Amino acid sequence: MGNGPPRQGRRGTMNESFAFGKRLFRETDEAGIQAVLDGLNAVSPHIGRYIIEFFGQLFRNPVLSYSERETVVIASLLALGDTPNQLTWHMRFGLKVGMTPNEIVEIATHCIPFCGFPRALNAIGVAKRLFEEERIEVTVEDEFLHHAEERREGGLAKLDEIDGSHGAAVVDSLADIAPLLADQLVEFAFGEIYSRSGLTPRQRQLVTLGALVAQGGCEPQLRVHLHASVRVGLSKQEIVEALLQCAPYTGFPKVLNAITVAKALFGTSSPDARRESER
């Protein structure tokens, strides 16, 4: 199937979203979602309907492709931790809508500076089991194994490319109290992780946004990475849509906090509100 919804304007009603979501599930993973719904039917059939409605409402908007949305979702679930069943489903769904196995591994790798090694390792374990089940071969390389001495210089360049003065200010603020952390940000986060070729800068920022929203309490870091997202080419509308994509997985409070940061930064209404005002 294609990697995005048909081009259209407003998202439509929840009933229309349910119909779209049900069709999308039928086209991509009918057996998988039916097993989830069957498990809910005995005690909470309404939750199954909610899942389909939210899925349809988000995925029918063409601002982000299906694979971009799944990039955000996988990063969010990884950051939340303790979601192996949901991670398995979304990794499998991601493969069906155009993601590559290497991209899924790279999402987990990219999350290490933001979520820590344990959650990234758990996600890698989920991916490994899925790939073995589906007999999928992965060809991820250790790109900097023989170039470790270049990481600081490369990290400084990548930091300037992605975050500009905002990133440099963060590093400078650590110099007098935690210089080791400043070095790790430059050499590891940017010299190693951000410099890997497995994801584009645009994809990496979608991963970062999903991870930061899911963790919550990261508003200062989110503000820096909203600036970075603009620098790598994401539009304001795409950024807001990435934040909205997190809502069914992280809950409304974390997304409301993220939207508040975006609104303060961009000084504009949401894409949906803007479309309404133009009618």
Could you report the per-residue pLDDT of 117-176, keeping only the tens digit for each?
999 999 999 999 999 999 999 999 998 887 888 899 999 999 999 988 888 899 999 989
DSSP string, the chain: --SSPPP-SS---HHHHHHHHHHHHHHHHHHHHHHHHHHHHTT-HHHHHHHHHHHHHHHT-TTS-HHHHHHHHHHHHHHH-S-HHHHHHHHHHHHHTT--HHHHHHHHHHTHHHH-HHHHHHHHHHHHHHHHHHT-------TTTT-GGGHHHHHHHHHHHHTHHHHHHHHHHHTTT-HHHHHHIIIIIIIIITT-SSS-HHHHHHHHHHHHHHH-S-HHHHHHHHHHHHHTT--HHHHHHHHHHTHHHH-HHHHHHHHHHHHHHH----HHHHHHHH-
Q: 246 or 39: which carries more pLDDT confidence? A: 246
Using 50, 70 and 90 to split pLDDT, how confident is the model at 274?
very low
In a domain, 75, yes or no: no
**What pLDDT was estimated at residue 4?**
53
Residue 266 lies in a domain: no
Residue 9 has pLDDT above 70, yes or no: no
Among 195, 210, 234, which residue terminates a domain?
195
User: What pLDDT is recorded for position 147?
Assistant: 83
Stated pTM of the model: 0.88
Q: Please, what is the average pLDDT of the chain?
A: 90
Total number of domains constituting the chain: 2
Range of the domain at 33: 13-60
Query: Is the model's pLDDT at 98 over the cut of 50?
Result: yes
Q: Is position 273 within any domain? A: no
Is 131 within a domain? no
Average pLDDT over residues 14-20: 86
Give the pair of three-digit tokens for residue 270: 């949401």
Q: Is the pLDDT of residue 107 over 60?
A: yes
Residue 82 pLDDT > 90, yes or no?
yes
Q: Is the pLDDT of residue 14 over 80?
A: no
Question: Is there a domain that residue 155 lies in?
Answer: yes
- Which residues have C-beta within 8 Å of that of residue 135, sequence separation ≥ 6? none
Confidence band for 239, pLDDT divided at 50, 70 and 90 = very high
pLDDT of residue 183: 93
Residues 6+ apart with CB under 8 A from 15: none
Is it the case that residue 57 has pLDDT exceeding 90?
A: yes
Q: Which of 156, 174, 195 is the last residue of a domain?
A: 195
Within the chain, what is the greatest distance between any pair of CA atoms? 59
Size (the chain), residues: 279
| Residue with the larger pLDDT of the pair 248 and 271 | 248
Q: What is the mean pLDDT of residues 253-261?
A: 98
Of residues 168 and 208, more confidently modeled: 208
Residue 102: half-sphere exposure toward Cβ, Cα within 13 Å: 10
Could you tell me if residue 232 is inside a domain? no
Residue 1 has pLDDT above 70, yes or no: no
Q: What is the pLDDT of residue 279?
A: 34
**Residue 2 reports pLDDT greater than 60:** no
Q: Is residue 221 part of a domain?
A: no
